[in-house]
A = this chain, B = another copy of it.
Amino acid sequence: MTGRDGGADLVPLGNTPVVILVRPQLADNIGAVARAMANGGLFHLRLVAPRDGWPQPAAWRNASGADRLLDNLTLHETVADAVKDLHHVFATCPRPRHIVKPVLSARGAAAELRAICGRDLRCGLLFGPERAGLDNDDMAQADALIRYSLNPDFMSLNLAQAVMVMAYEWWTTADQTAPRSLMTNETEVATKGTLDNFMTHLVRELDDCGFLRNAPKRSGMIRNIQHFFQRGEVTEQELRTLHGVVTELAHGRGARRAKSAP
């Protein structure tokens, strides 16, 4: 099986955190974890004592093309063995109790993982089994715990969803996308001058057709229309379309019909 979606790019490259699934129960979830990891740019997967053994074809079926992560994962009998070559280990832990250890948010953990990887140290993330989560011995092997910012009244988080949140945060820490931008694949945001040309055109036609005949209200009406067109970014292409709309409304079919009527 080869990845159907960028599988060729899934070769482990560079220094990224290792995801370690501790005693995972369902092969479906292991596959979904691989897919979520690929979504967020994580490529190193380790399994500690999977309940149903390994390999399990259901994992590949559920990985949606993230096959190389599954092909290349390593199997371990104990958590100690799975983390022995790592310098830092964080353990996800939704409800830590009576444990004295630093607790990170998912976002805080992602930032620290970036910093650790930037120092060429190897780091890993422990995720516990579906039903019970990590036990106390597992957590004692971690530097810090990660507790997600999620609804405390509904803590039942699917394993692959838990990995998805960390993978998303991992990717996002290195992403520079603006929170809001305008997609303009083939056109440009209009300048105020171009927008003003359109307003001049529109007002001329509205004067001609009599819409602005009430002189005391004329400037207020124009301002209201102007406010509307200023509200969002308008593109050059949209303004060309709007010029056409105004021209056709004023001089198109209806106007021709009037001309031919006498």
Contact = CB atoms under 8 A, between A and B. Distances in A.
Contact of A100 (B6, B38, B97, B237): B237
Interface in A157-212: 157-158, 160-161, 164-165, 168, 171-172, 175, 177-187
B10 A154 contact: yes
A89 interface: no
B168 A150 contact: yes
A66 to B, nearest CB: 7
Nearest to A103: B183
A contact face: mostly helix, strand, loop, or mixed: loop
A74 interface: no
A9 B103 contact: no
Given A105-B178, A161-B164, A6 B186 contact: no
A11 to B, nearest CB: 11
Interface residues of A, number: 68
Given A100-B187, A183-B103, A149 B172 contact: yes
A70 to B, nearest CB: 14
A9 B149 CA distance: 17
A31 to B, nearest CB: 10
A87 B35 CA distance: 35
Nearest to A232: B102
Contacts of A147: 177
3 tightest CB-CB pairs across the interface, nearest first? A108-B179, A6-B153, A38-B154
